[in-house]
Structures are given as C-alpha cells and as structure tokens.
Amino acid sequence: MYNMTDIHITWHEHQVARQDRERLNGHRGCVIWLTGLSGSGKSTLANVLDHLLSQRGIRTAVLDGDNVRHGLNASPNLLRETHGATFAERFGLGFSAIDREENIRRIGAVAQLFCEAGIIALTAFISPYRLDRQRVRQSLREGDFIEVFVDTPLAVCEERDPKGLYKKARAGELKHFTGIDDPYEAPEAPELIVRSSGERTPEALAAQVIAYLVTRGILPATVLDARETGG
Ligand SMILES: Nc1ncnc2c1ncn2[C@@H]1O[C@H](COP(=O)(O)OS(=O)(=O)O)[C@@H](OP(=O)(O)O)[C@H]1O
Ligand SMILES: Nc1ncnc2c1ncn2[C@@H]1O[C@H](COP(=O)(O)OP(=O)(O)O)[C@@H](O)[C@H]1O
C-alpha cells in the first residue's frame, strides 16, 4: 500500500477560488447525479436540463454513461484495438461490480472538478450501488451532491428498450444486465425523485429539477422567470 508521503504528491490550492468563479457565472456549482435503470430516461433528462439551462446562461456539462465508456472509461473491447490485450484487460471497464465501482469513482472525480469550477455537472449513469453513490457524495462538499432518482419501473424500461439490450438480457445473450440478472439499489433518501413514466415529459421533469435548484439557492430565481416567459 502507498501513502501520500511515499508518492510525493502535494495538494495545491488554486489562485482563482471557487467563489470567484461562481460569482462570475452567477450561480453555484453542483453535481446533479441522475441514477436509474437503463432506459429510465437519465440521458434524456440530462440533455433537456443541459439545453434549458444553457439557454438561460447557466454553465453546465453532461457526463453520460454510454459516452464516457467510449473514452475515459472505455470498455476492454474498445481499448483492445488501440492499446492491446494486456492494457485492455488491466484498465478497461466492463459491468462487473468492481468495474462499475471504478466507473463511478472516476466519474465522481471528474464531476467534482466541474463542480469546483463553478459548473453544474449533470451525470447520467445507472450507478446501481448505494455505496458507490454514497462515496461520491462524501467526496464532495456538503450540499454539492444532488441525487436524483429517475424512478421508472423496470416494466416501462423494458417496454422502451431503445437499444434492444433488455431483449438480449432476457434471451441470456447479455449477462449481468442491471434489473434482469444484476442488482439495482434504489436510493433511500435522494434529494429528488422524478418519474418518467405516464404523461410526464422530459421537459416537465427538468422543470421539477430546476425548481429544486432554485429553492436550494444554487440557481437564481430569475431562471424561473425566463422559463415562464419562454425567454
Ligand atoms: N450489463 C449491463 N448492465 C447495464 N447496462 C449495460 C450493460 N451492458 C451494456 N450496458 C450499456 O451501458 C450503459 C450503462 O453504463 P453506466 O456506465 O451508466 O453503468 S454503471 O453506472 O457503471 O452501472 C447502459 O446505458 P443506459 O441505457 O443509457 O443506462 C447500457 O446501454
Ligand atoms: N419522460 C419520458 N417520457 C417518455 N419517454 C421517455 C422519457 N424520457 C425518456 N424517454 C424515452 O425512454 C428511452 C430511454 O431514455 P434514455 O434517456 O436513453 O434512458 P437512459 O439514459 O436512462 O438509458 C428513450 O427512447 C427516450 O426517448
């Protein structure tokens, strides 16, 4: 085991403080952590939020499961082509519990960087394990982690099945698929629960999240005026 003294790295404070960046931006930074089953509507909600907030001059960044798994957290089969088999086996991330844990740890660290830069990080990962989400929460400052449970029933996600993955999982062609033969641990005390089934459009869910951010003082109330006037 290493300790920080052995590896000679030291934490540096930055010259521009987070508060300075937030003052420039006109809003606080935070991490909006969307969690839910595959097909629950995480990416859709993250993208609608990104769009609505950007239109109102709010600085945001989206980190999305499928996309991040093409780069920073590439899967072994993607890495094998460019980096060879050994590298891919050592550093590629699949869907075992330990790989999901590392996936979430890295995303948590990236989201923290955005947050400290005064940006609203919108993350859309299944993040099925409570402990992994809890660790991200604990790595951030009090109040920076806003857990949003995209609570869509498995039957609805399976009916949507936009990528055909549930069908494959049911047929036994895809193992360890969340909700089928791998666990999903629903949040016990999320900051917010949004339900994307029924008549609730992604825009309605985004409005629920934005209203919450205003009540928490993360966004200025003027964001609501802009929404109501369509400006
Ligand atoms: N075994 C298994 N289980 C769940 N999901 C799988 C699996 N294999 C591939 N996929 C695809 O990967 C997307 C989920 O990636 P995440 O990084 O969000 O997963 S996790 O948070 O590490 O659990 C997920 O995307 P979303 O549908 O957007 O959630 C799937 O398209
Ligand atoms: N609020 C909603 N109401 C109805 N359908 C939705 C809603 N949000 C997302 N969808 C649809 O559900 C499917 C899965 O959405 P997606 O955002 O890709 O989920 P996830 O990122 O959680 O896998 C897509 O076909 C999307 O159009």
Q: How many domains does the chain have?
A: 1
What is the mean pLDDT of the segment spanning 23-37? 97
Residue 54 marked ligand-binding: no
- Ligand 1 pocket mutation, candidates 66, 156, 176, criterion most atoms within 8 A of CB: 66
Q: Are strands 120-124 and 192-194 parallel, antiparallel or unpaired?
A: unpaired
Q: Residue 3 falls within a domain, yes or no?
A: no
Place of tokens 């449970």: 149
Q: Is residue 35 part of a domain?
A: yes
Does the structure show a pLDDT above 60 at 227? no
- Is the pLDDT score of 228 beyond 70? no
Position 12 in a domain: no
Res 65: pLDDT = 81
Residue 4 lies in a domain: no
Q: How far apart are CA 63 and CA 110, in angstroms?
A: 9
Indicate if ipTM > 0.95: yes
Confirm whether residue 40 is marked as ligand binding. Answer: yes
Q: Which of 75, 127, 139, 197 is catalytic?
A: 127
Q: Give the ligand whose atoms come closest to the C-alpha of residue 71.
A: 1
Is 75 labeled as ligand-binding? no
Q: How far is CA 77 from CA 73, 82, 87, 113, 198, in A?
A: 12, 10, 11, 28, 37
Could you tell me the CATH number of the domain that includes residue 147?
3.40.50.300
Do 178 and 37 contact (CB within 8 A), yes or no? yes
Which ligand number lies closest to the CA of residue 179? 1
- Tell me if 90 is assigned to some domain: yes
Residue 221 has pLDDT above 60, yes or no: yes
Distance 94 CA to ligand 1 centre (A): 9
Q: pLDDT of 80-131, one tens digit each? A: 999 999 999 999 999 999 999 999 999 999 999 999 999 999 999 999 999 9
Pocket test for ligand 1, best of 165, 167, 177 (most atoms within 8 A of CB): 165
Residue 114 domain-assigned (yes or no) = yes
Has residue 120 been placed in a domain?
A: yes
Residue 1 lies in a domain: no
How confident is the model at residue 220, as a pLDDT?
95
**Tens-digit pLDDT profile for residues 163-185:** 999 999 999 999 999 999 999 99
Instruction: Give the range of the structural domain holding residue 178, as residue numbers without chain letter.
Output: 19-220
